[in-house]
Every structure is written in C-alpha cells, then in structure tokens.
C-alpha cells in the first residue's frame, strides 16, 4: 500500500471513476505509474460496486486509492470498511456533525488512512474546521456535479489563503475540472486536482473516456507540475 501522508508541496492528480468496475478495469492499466496520481473510487462507483469494487481497483493500482464514500455518520465503521477493502484515503462530508468529523479523523489516524473532508455545500470551511479537535489531512473544495451548469457557481478558491493561514492541510479542487481549470486551481493554491472520467454525451467536464486517457493524464501532470 502507498505511503500514508501526502506532501503539501507536491501537486497531485486525482482521477475519479464514477461509472462501473469494467471501465476501471480497462482504464487503470493504461495510466502512468506515478506517485503523483491518486485513483478515486467515486461515490456513484461505490454505490454501484461496493467494497468489492474498491478491492478490485486496489488489485490494479499500487499507489494511493481514495474511497469517496462521503461519510455522514457512523465514522468508525465506514473507516474500517474502506481500510479493509484496501483504500488508503477516505472522505467525510464537511456538513456532518463535529462529533462525526472528530471520530473520523481519529479513526483515520489510528488506522493509517488519509482523512479528507469534502466541503460540498459548505459556505465557510472555517466553520467546519474551528470546532474540530484535529484538522484532516485534506480539505476538498468541491463544486458538485449538479452545480456545474449553474451560472456563477465556482470552486471557492477565495478560501485557500484563509485556510492555509490557520491549518496545515492539503487542499483539493474538485468539480468540472479540465486542463484550464487545473491551471487555475494550481495558481490559486490547490495542490490536488480532482478530474472525473466522463463518458461522451454526459453533461460534466473532465477526461472523456473516448480519448487516450493515459496521454491526457500525463498532460495534466505536466500542467500542474
């Protein structure tokens, strides 16, 4: 399994798989073996394929594997579940109760997992962070799929400096990220860029599944280097 901690000074590409296991099994072997690539078992993927899907991805990918389970309650059980399936990073919703967030980070620390707090729908990240006993490893500034077409909705980079002035965390940018958005994310201080694999005809931004995904992944790595 990959080493636990991420380096805040390193820029990572996180590739999110949100469809079925067959797509993951066909695409992952084509990706460059880079320590700067994280593979994400996305929330729709986990709902469709369960922990069997996470285990299957782990069998193909030796590097960091993120289970985007978006825990909202029952943190101890869900952390243990994804750890047993082979993930080394897991997400919790920032809108979850502070008790859940604290237990989540504690369990991740004890079980050698990377803790990620997803700020989907959160107006001010500091309202989430201040009451917590211990900050997570990663904060995810997230514009949701259903928000991508909403005029004026953006990934809230204005919070980056406020967060970094008080907390030593990595910051991920997620939601409609293409190469131009990746450049913007790095310019604005994020160090993890989350990119969705997207089938042709679907309304979201990301890497199209009919492209040379390995080549596009290399282009992202160069862009954010």
Asked whether residue 3 carries a pLDDT value surpassing 60, the answer given is no
Contacts of residue 151, Cβ cutoff 8 Å, sequence gap at least 6: none
Tell me which residue of 141, 75, 140, 158 sits closest to 110, measured CA to CA. 75
Tens digit of pLDDT for each residue in 194-218?
Answer: 999 999 988 888 899 999 999 999 9
Domain chopping of the chain, boundaries: 12-224
- Mean pLDDT (whole number) for 48-72: 97
- pLDDT category at 1 given cuts 50, 70, 90 is very low
Q: What phi and psi values does residue 142 have, to the nearest 5 degrees? A: -130, 120
Q: Is the pTM of this model over 0.85?
A: yes
Task: Please give the DSSP secondary-structure letter assigned to residue 5.
Answer: P
Please check whether residue 85 is in contact with residue 58, taking contact to mean a CB–CB distance below 8 angstroms. Answer: yes
Residue 148 is predicted with a pLDDT of 65
Considering only CA atoms, give the Rg of the chain.
Answer: 16
At the topology level, CATH places domain 12-224 in: TIM Barrel (3.20.20)
**What is the rounded CA–CA span in Å between residue 141 and residue 155?**
6
């Amino acid at each position: 399994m990959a080493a636990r901690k991420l380096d805040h000074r390193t820029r990572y590409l996180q590739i999110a798989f949100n469809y079925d296991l067959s797509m993951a099994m066909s695409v992952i072997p084509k990706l460059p073996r880079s320590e700067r690539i994280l593979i994400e078992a996305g929330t729709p993927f986990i709902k469709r394929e369960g922990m069997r899907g996470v285990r299957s991805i782990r069998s193909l990918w030796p590097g960091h594997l993120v289970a985007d389970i978006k825990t909202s309650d029952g943190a101890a059980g869900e952390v243990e579940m994804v750890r047993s399936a082979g993930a080394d990073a897991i997400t919790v919703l920032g809108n979850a109760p502070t008790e859940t967030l604290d237990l989540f980070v504690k369990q991740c620390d004890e079980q050698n997992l990377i803790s990620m707090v997803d700020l989907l729908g959160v107006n001010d990240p500091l309202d989430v962070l201040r009451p917590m006993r211990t900050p997570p490893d990663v904060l995810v500034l997230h514009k949701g799929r259903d928000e991508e077409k909403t005029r004026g909705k953006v990934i809230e980079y204005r919070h980056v400096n406020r967060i970094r002035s008080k907390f030593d965390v990595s910051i991920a940018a997620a939601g409609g990220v293409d190469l131009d958005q990746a450049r913007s994310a790095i310019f604005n201080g994020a160090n993890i860029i989350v990119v969705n694999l997207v089938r042709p005809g679907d309304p979201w931004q990301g890497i199209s599944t009919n492209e040379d995904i390995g080549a596009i992944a290399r282009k992202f790595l160069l862009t954010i280097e």
